[in-house]
A = this chain, B = another copy of it.
Amino acid sequence: MPEIRAQEGSKKPPSRRLAPDARAQQILEGAISHFAEYGFDGGTRALAAHLGISQALLFRYFPNKAALIDRVYEVVFLNRWNPEWKALLMRRDLPLTTRLTSFYKDYNRSIDRYEVIRISLFSALRNESISQRYVARLREQLIAPIVAECRAFVGLPAPVSLPLHPLEEELVLGLHATVIYGIMRKHVFHAAPPTDPDFMIELQVEGFVRFASEAFQRVHAHVLKSGERAGQPPPHVASIS
Contacts from A to B (Cβ < 8 Å): 29, 32, 39, 41, 75-76, 79, 112-113, 115-116, 118, 121-122, 124-127, 131-132, 135-136, 139, 166-167, 169-171, 173-174, 176-178, 180-182, 185, 188-191, 193-197, 199-200, 203-204, 206-208, 210-211, 215, 218-219, 222, 226, 230-234, 237, 239-241
Residues B211 and A125 in contact, CB atoms below 8 Å apart: no
Q: How far is the CA of A188 from the CA of B132 in the complex (A)?
A: 10
Contact B177 A173 (CB under 8 A): no
**CA separation between A210 and B115, bound complex, in Å?**
36
* B-chain residues with CB within 8 Å of residue A188 when the two chains form the complex: 121, 124-125
Query: Which residue of chain B is the closest to A131 with respect to CB atoms?
Result: B189
Q: Which of B76, B185, B233 contacts A173 (CB 8 A)?
A: B185
By a CB distance below 8 angstroms, the chain B residues around A200 are 167, 170-171, 174
**B194 lies within 8 A of A233 (CB):** yes
A174 in contact with B132 (CB, 8 Å): no
Q: Do residues A166 and B195 form an inter-chain contact, with CB atoms below 8 A?
A: yes
Pairwise interchain contact B39-A125, C-beta atoms closer than 8 A: yes
